[in-house]
């Protein structure tokens, strides 16, 4: 009975979180002073000159229907929930009209997932290895230095690290492009090489900060575990430090870190959005910025 009650509360929390988030997504853009339909008509007039008033009015009505802006606010809201939340149909894009929003998201999302998931997993692995060494061998100078570096790096915002890397390695040294450039024409090898080159600096900026947190947390866990009675008993038995570190301290400390990794995967987009914008990386972050600036 307790399990079903717990599961029901968790599912209710999950549903309310999504519902509230989607509701904010609906109302916030409608508070902006700019009208996306009028912006689009203005761009058309700037390109093609004066339009017939009747044809313009028909186009305005058609665009408002396509963008879900026709009818009262309540009618727009229910239509938004029905199409977007239940059927995942977000209609056409304003900045790439008439391309569907689903296609644009599907084209940009793999870049963000690849960058975020890869850096999260690598940060977890590297951070836990360094944190284990720093906690298990906490009296050594190297362990204290590693911990101090992690403590200094972790509080720095993502965009500060990204800006520093961009200035040093792109602007000063010129090793990487200032803005990510991915070559789609030229074959698979050209695409992969350009993607890797464009991903190096964004990945490092996210990796550094993520690694700092995992070092701190793993160091704390391994340091506490290394003082437990079963670890002291293993030393009294004459087991090697390597055996104690891997079989006793690491195996007992990593359980908490695995749980933390699963929870952190839900927030993989946290640092990637600002990092993508700074480097012009073709992911969801850059897509969001373009959509906001163009009232899409």
The predicted-structure confidence for 239-262, as pLDDT tens digits, reads as follows 777 777 777 778 888 888 888 887
* pLDDT score for 110: 86
DSSP 294: T
Check if CATH label 1.10.3720.10 holds for domain 103-293. yes
Percent of the chain at pLDDT exceeding 70: 95
pLDDT in tens, 167-215: 888 888 878 877 777 777 777 787 788 888 888 888 888 888 778 788 8
As a whole number of angstroms, the distance between CA 86 and CA 106 comes to 18
* pLDDT score for 267: 66
Residue 17 pLDDT > 80: yes
Nearest alpha carbon to residue 117 among 270, 282, 287, 290: 270
Token code pair at residue 135? 């906690």
Which comes out higher in pLDDT, residue 264 or 282?
282
How buried is residue 225: exposed, middle or buried, by Cβ count under 10 Å (0-12/13-18/19+)?
A: buried
Where, residue-wise, is CATH 1.10.3720.10 in the chain?
103-293
List residues bridging with 92 in a β-sheet: 100
Q: Tell me the H-state helices in the chain.
A: 2-30, 36-48, 53-66, 73-80, 101-136, 141-153, 158-165, 188-225, 229-236, 241-243, 251-264, 272-279, 284-293
Token code pair at residue 211? 């690694």
Residue 22 · residue 84 · CB < 8 Å? yes
Q: Highest mean pLDDT: which of 55-69, 136-150, 211-225? A: 211-225
Residue 265 pLDDT > 70: yes
Average pLDDT over residues 8-20: 87
As a whole number of angstroms, the distance between CA 237 and CA 252 comes to 19
Looking at every residue in the chain, the average pLDDT score rounds to 79
* pLDDT score for 268: 65
What's the start-to-end Cα distance of the chain, in Å? 47
Minimum mean pLDDT among 26-30, 43-47, 239-243, 283-287: which range?
43-47
As a whole number of angstroms, the distance between CA 105 and CA 16 comes to 24
Average pLDDT over residues 68-78: 80
- Report if pTM > 0.75: no
* pLDDT score for 89: 78
pLDDT in tens, 119-165: 888 888 888 888 888 777 766 777 777 777 777 777 777 778 888 88
Token code pair at residue 174? 């010129």
> Which long-range contacts does 11-14 make (Cβ < 8 Å, 24+ apart)?
none
What is the biggest distance separating any 2 CA atoms in the chain, rounded to whole angstroms? 92
Minimum mean pLDDT among 20-29, 33-42, 82-91, 203-212: which range?
33-42
Q: Three-state SS for 92?
A: strand
Which comes out higher in pLDDT, residue 43 or 261?
261
Task: State the Rg of the chain over Cα.
Answer: 26
| Residue 200 φ then ψ, to 5° | -60, -55
As a whole number of angstroms, the distance between CA 206 and CA 272 comes to 7
Q: Highest mean pLDDT: which of 66-70, 109-113, 272-276? A: 109-113
């Amino acid at each position: 009975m307790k399990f079903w009650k717990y599961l029901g509360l968790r599912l209710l929390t999950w549903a309310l979180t999504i519902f509230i988030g989607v509701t904010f997504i609906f109302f916030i853009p409608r508070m902006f002073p700019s009208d996306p339909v009028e912006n689009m008509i203005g761009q058309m007039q700037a390109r093609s000159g004066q339009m017939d008033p009747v044809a313009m009015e028909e186009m305005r009505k058609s665009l408002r229907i396509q963008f879900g802006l026709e009818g009262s606010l309540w009618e727009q809201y229910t239509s938004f929930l029905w199409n977007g939340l239940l059927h995942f149909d977000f209609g056409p894009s304003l900045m790439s009209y008439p391309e569907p929003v689903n296609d644009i998201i599907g084209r940009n999302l793999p870049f963000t997932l690849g960058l975020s998931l890869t850096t999260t997993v690598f940060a977890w692995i590297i951070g836990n290895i360094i944190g284990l060494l720093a906690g298990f061998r906490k009296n050594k100078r190297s362990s204290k230095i590693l911990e101090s570096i992690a403590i200094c790096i972790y509080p720095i915002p993502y965009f500060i690290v990204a800006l520093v890397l961009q200035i040093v390695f792109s602007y000063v040294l010129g090793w990487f492009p200032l803005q990510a450039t991915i070559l789609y024409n030229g074959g698979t090898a050209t695409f992969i090489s350009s993607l890797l080159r464009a991903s190096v600096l964004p990945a490092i900026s996210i990796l550094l900060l993520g690694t700092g947190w995992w070092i701190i947390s793993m160091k704390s866990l391994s340091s506490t575990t290394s003082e437990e009675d079963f670890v002291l008993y293993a030393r009294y038995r004459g087991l090697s430090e390597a055996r104690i570190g891997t079989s006793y301290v690491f195996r007992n400390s990593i359980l908490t870190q695995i749980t933390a990794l699963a929870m952190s995967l839900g927030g993989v987009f946290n640092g990637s959005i600002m990092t993508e914008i700074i480097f012009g990386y073709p992911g969801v972050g850059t897509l969001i910025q373009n959509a906001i600036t163009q009232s899409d």
